[in-house]
Structure formats: C-alpha cells, structure tokens
Amino acid sequence: MKLSHNFRALKQISMSKIQVYFVPGLAASIEIFENIKLPEATFETHFLEWILPKHNETIENYAKRMCEKIKHEDIVLIGVSFGGIMVQEMSKIVKTKKTIIISSVKSNQELPIHMKLAKATKFYKVLPTSLLSKVNYLSSYVKGRGLIAKRVQLYNKYLFMKQTKYLDWAIENVLQWQRSIPDEKVIHIHGDEDMVFPISNIKNCIVVKGGTHIMIVTKYKWLNENLPKIILE
C-alpha cells in the first residue's frame, strides 16, 4: 500500500511539471542536448530519437509515428534544424502548450536559394549520402586540432542515424516540405551566423548573437538561461 501511495505521489508531481519533448537535427543523436538543463522543479524533459522511415513514407505519417513515443498531453515541443520541421508536423497531431524551433525554418519560403534550386532540379537525388556513414572511418585518419579534424570529431560524436535510407528520406523531406505559410504560434530561435539557414531568409525570430547552425551545442548557456522564460511566457 505504501509503495502504491508513493507511486501515485510521484505521478502527481510529474503531471504538475511542464513536459518538454526535444527532437534533434537531421541524423543527429539526442546527445546534442547533453548540456541543455531546464529547472527540474518546473520541467520534465524527454528526448526523441529518429526512427527509420518506411518505404515512400510521407512526413505526415512519420510525424504520427514519432508522436507514438509521447506519453503526455499539453506538452512543449522543441526541435532543432530538421527536428524543427518535424515538431511542426507533430504539433498538428498532439496538443501542445508551445512549439519551439531552433536553427530551423517555419516554411519552405525560408529555405536558402541553393536548397530551392536543389528542389527544382532534383540535384539532391544524386548526392552521395552514403559518405556520411564513413565518418567513423574518417575519424581514425583525421587527427589533430584543425578545423576539419574538429568537425569530423563533432560529426562522429553526434551523428546517430547514418543509414542511407534515412538520410535520403530526410533530405528530400526538407527540400520538399509543403508548408508555405508559417504558423504564427511557432516560436523561432535562430543564430545570426547560421550558414545552413541564413538569417537573411528568416522572419520573426529570436536572434542569438554569434549563434551558428550548431548553437544547440555551442550556445547551450544562452539556451539554458532563456528557454525556461520563453516556455513560461
């Protein structure tokens, strides 16, 4: 009886907290969130790993399968890069307090010109995405502290979904995303030095000075300080 009472008490405490679900960037592991710490008295955090897509799966159906991992209602969804696109699709399915995207886009209108050209020409279909699966192999040869070595080590640490099937699917769904009108309720956090999604194409966002496309890793102190306020506003 005492154990049952304790379980109910723990459940009530958990339910009183704001449930925050994070989705990482394209092919990235949840390790990219290793330095993100929200106050435990107020928030309970959950991290969703990518899953392999089914053959010719739509992004809508994939989002539905991602939502099957969610165990709460009235949640906060936070997505990084392609994860930002994914949480916007997921927010159509589950009830959310807030949807927050980081280093991402709110519509296909915010994609840079070279991505729009890749979509129009279907050039992305000939990209050798299988090379990404060779990162472990590369890291054994690229040593030192130079920029290339650091980037290879970073990719090796945070890359999770290396299967060509996933990479081809994810790249196509970034470029072929059908949303052309942004959802005004989406909160957008973006770095002014993002080279993947240049801020010149981004409208209505919270700007992080010096933030790059990987600021979830490099600007975690700013995010730890400001995310709680943004969620609670």
Check which CATH number belongs to the domain holding 149 and give it: 3.40.50.1820
Amino acid at site 129: T
Contact 212, 189 (CB under 8 A): no
Averaged pLDDT for residues 160-164: 76
Backbone torsions φ then ψ of 95, nearest 5 degrees = -75, 130
The domain in which residue 220 lies consists of: 2-232
Half-sphere exposure of 189 (CA within 13 A, CB side): 24
- Return the higher-pLDDT residue of 160 and 233: 233
Average pLDDT over residues 160-180: 88
Q: What is the mean pLDDT of residues 188-201?
A: 96
- Name the amino acid, one letter, at 225: E
Q: What is the largest CA-CA distance in the chain?
A: 66
Q: Chain-wide mean pLDDT for the chain?
A: 85
Structural domain count, the chain: 1
Helices (DSSP H) in the chain: which residue ranges?
A: 2-16, 59-67, 82-90, 113-121, 135-139, 147-158, 164-175, 215-218, 220-232
| β-strand pairing of 96-102 with 187-191 | parallel
If we measure between CA atoms, which residue out of 159, 92, 86, 174 comes closest to residue 127? Answer: 174
Helix (H, G, I), strand (E, B) or coil at 50: coil
**What average pLDDT does this structure show over 1-28?**
71
The beta-carbon contacts of 60-66 under 8 Å, at least 24 apart in sequence, are: 60/89, 60/92, 62/86, 62/89, 62/173, 63/89, 63/90, 63/92, 63/93, 64/93, 66/23, 66/90
Name the pTM for this structure: 0.84
